[in-house]
């Protein structure tokens, strides 16, 4: 019995050293970077909220529309991570460089049509049944915010490279610097401080552009000056095409992009549905969604570490390493999300109140809506963390198409179906819509992690791993 106990303890210690600790070392700076990025959005919401409920509602609509476009582009660029990780696992420096360079090309060609679509945000929102005045304000905001897309996606390409090189701390530092720039510019341009004009929503958009440019320049300078990274020369001959790799990124990346959009679309659709209930429920929804998005940044960072570590193990042909990397990430993520769920249940009023001006006569009504929605958000914390880890574990293996089908079914059949049924059919209102979100996330979490569990039987492992 003592021998068995010692063996169990030794195995647990090995699992900590070989998988949980490396996941935390790589994932937590990425999670911190995600939180710092979210701090930019949180700062915008906090300051815009001081302008009034209409401005806050307009920013919620515009930001959700922007995120649909952003998430698809980010998803496509995420294909750089498994491609570069596999190349590094195989010690193929040339293939790593080609993947990152063509990632820059993908960003450039994607932004051109995306900018055109975002220009008509206000008209699209009116067509979707939103209040015309709020929609016009949202469109004005988007015409400034849309220019964040290009530097923001370039950042994701460089960030993918640095993640594969296991240099996540610099990503955190650069994002924190960008968040500080955004806070100063927000304060100056939204309210007209430091001698700047009072631009309100437009000022918030300009601040976001300045923040993204500062972050991109920070990371680009680091890559150009770092001795180890300079030899990859990812900016060298940037004009030179490499069409096979370009289309490989698109082939692997577009299902990732559509999967992320399917999830983001679920939340954007929830904003549209709650918008049908009125401006005050929509403002409360925006606050609750902002809080849930903040906690979600932790599993996003950990899932990028999972995708990288699974990809590196797959490149080495290490079947056991693939499994350990994936399950370690899931364990760590679920632990964090449980803690966040408890916080949402225990202190909802103080959390929602952070986003409100208590002197505003509408604040109490918005608070009540936000607290009710946050109680449901606590329920899907585990599902939210579980689904992104499961899907990114599969992406690390280059498996992106079947997870796309899971997302479309889980988010748009189960999630939207439940939201409409409970929110309007059963008369639960916004709470019913949030219950639908939870159901969609849980469905994808179960399907994705079950597929990763059966990865060997489904032929998802590299040939070397199958033979071992």
pLDDT of residue 15: 55
Give CA angle at 114 (112, 118), nearest 5°: 125
pLDDT of residue 13: 57
pLDDT of residue 7: 40
pLDDT of residue 464: 46
pLDDT of residue 11: 59
Average pLDDT of every residue of the chain: 86
Tell me which DSSP letter residue 148 carries: G
The pLDDT tens digits of the residues spanning 57-107 come to: 888 888 878 888 988 998 899 889 888 888 887 788 888 888 899 999 999
The pLDDT tens digits of the residues spanning 150-179 come to: 999 999 999 889 988 888 889 999 999 999
248 vs 64: which has the higher pLDDT: 248
C-alpha dihedral sign at 19, 20, 25, 31: positive
Q: How many CA atoms lie within 13 A of 375 on its CB side?
A: 9
Single pTM value for the model: 0.78
Q: Is the pLDDT of residue 220 over 90?
A: yes
Q: Is the pLDDT of residue 371 over 50?
A: yes
Q: What tokens were used for 90?
A: 């195989």
Give the C-alpha separation, 172 to 30, whole Å.
6
422 vs 315: which has the higher pLDDT: 422
Local confidence band at 2 (pLDDT 50, 70, 90 cut-offs): very low
Segments making up each domain of the chain, as ranges: 20-467
Give the C-alpha separation, 269 to 64, whole Å.
9
| Sequence-ordered list of residues with C-beta below 8 angstroms from that of 216, at least 6 positions apart, any chain | 151, 154, 155, 158
Give the C-alpha separation, 303 to 396, whole Å.
10
Q: What are the distances in angstroms from CA 88 to CA 74, 224, 373, 429?
A: 21, 19, 44, 50
pLDDT of residue 97: 85
Cβ–Cβ under 8 Å, residues 389 and 329? yes
The pLDDT tens digits of the residues spanning 115-164 come to: 999 999 888 888 888 888 888 888 999 999 999 999 999 999 998 899 88
The pLDDT tens digits of the residues spanning 336-362 come to: 999 999 999 888 888 888 877 777 777
| Sequence-ordered list of residues with C-beta below 8 angstroms from that of 205, at least 6 positions apart, any chain | 141, 142, 143, 144, 145, 146, 147, 148
2 vs 57: which has the higher pLDDT: 57
């Amino acid at each position: 019995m003592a021998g068995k106990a010692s063996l169990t303890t030794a195995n647990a210690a090995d699992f900590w050293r070989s998988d949980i600790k490396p996941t935390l070392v790589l994932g937590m700076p990425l999670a911190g970077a995600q939180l710092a990025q979210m701090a930019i959005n949180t700062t915008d919401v906090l300051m815009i909220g001081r302008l009034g409920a209409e401005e806050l509602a307009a920013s919620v609509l515009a930001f959700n529309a922007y995120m649909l476009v952003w998430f698809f582009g980010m998803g496509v660029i995420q294909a750089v991570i498994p491609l570069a990780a596999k190349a590094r696992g195989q010690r193929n420096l040339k293939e790593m460089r080609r993947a990152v360079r063509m990632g820059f090309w993908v960003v450039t060609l994607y932004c051109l049509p995306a900018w055109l679509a975002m220009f008509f945000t206000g008209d699209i929102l009116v067509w979707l049944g939103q209040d015309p005045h709020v929609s016009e304000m949202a469109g004005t905001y988007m015409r400034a915010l849309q220019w964040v897309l290009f530097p923001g996606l370039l950042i994701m390409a460089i960030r993918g490279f640095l993640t594969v090189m296991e240099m996540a701390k610099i990503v955190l530092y650069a994002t924190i610097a960008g968040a500080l720039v955004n806070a100063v510019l927000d304060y100056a341009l939204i309210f007209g401080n430091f001698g700047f004009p009072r631009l309100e929503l437009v000022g918030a958009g300009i601040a976001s552009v300045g923040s993204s440019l500062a972050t991109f320049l920070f990371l680009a300078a680091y890559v150009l000056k770092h001795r180890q990274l300079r030899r990859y020369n990812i900016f060298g001959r940037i004009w030179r095409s490499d069409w096979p790799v370009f289309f490989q990124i698109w082939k692997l990346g577009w299902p990732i992009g559509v999967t992320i959009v399917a999830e983001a679309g679920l939340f954007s659709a929830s904003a549209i549905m709650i918008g049908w209930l009125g401006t005050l429920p929509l403002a409360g929804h925006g606050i609750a969604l902002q809080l849930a998005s903040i906690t979600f940044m932790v599993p996003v960072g950990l899932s990028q570490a999972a995708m990288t570590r699974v990809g590196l193990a797959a490149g080495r042909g290490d079947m056991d390493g693939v499994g350990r990397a994936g399950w370690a990430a899931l364990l760590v993520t679920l632990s964090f999300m449980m803690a966040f769920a408890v916080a949402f249940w225990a202190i909802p009023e103080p959390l929602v109140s952070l986003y409100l001006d208590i002197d505003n006569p509408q604040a109490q009504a918005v608070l009540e809506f936000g607290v009710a929605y946050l109680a449901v958000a606590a329920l899907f914390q585990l599902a939210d963390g579980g689904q992104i880890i499961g899907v990114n574990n599969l992406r690390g293996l280059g498996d992106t198409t079947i997870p796309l089908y899971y997302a479309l079914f889980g988010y748009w059949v189960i999630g939207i179906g439940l939201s409409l049924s409970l929110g309007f059919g059963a008369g639960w209102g916004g709470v019913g819509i949030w219950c639908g979100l939870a159901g969609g996330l849980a469905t994808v979490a179960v399907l994705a992690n079950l597929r990763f569990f059966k990865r060997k039987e489904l032929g998802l492992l590299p040939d070397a791993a199958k033979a071992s």
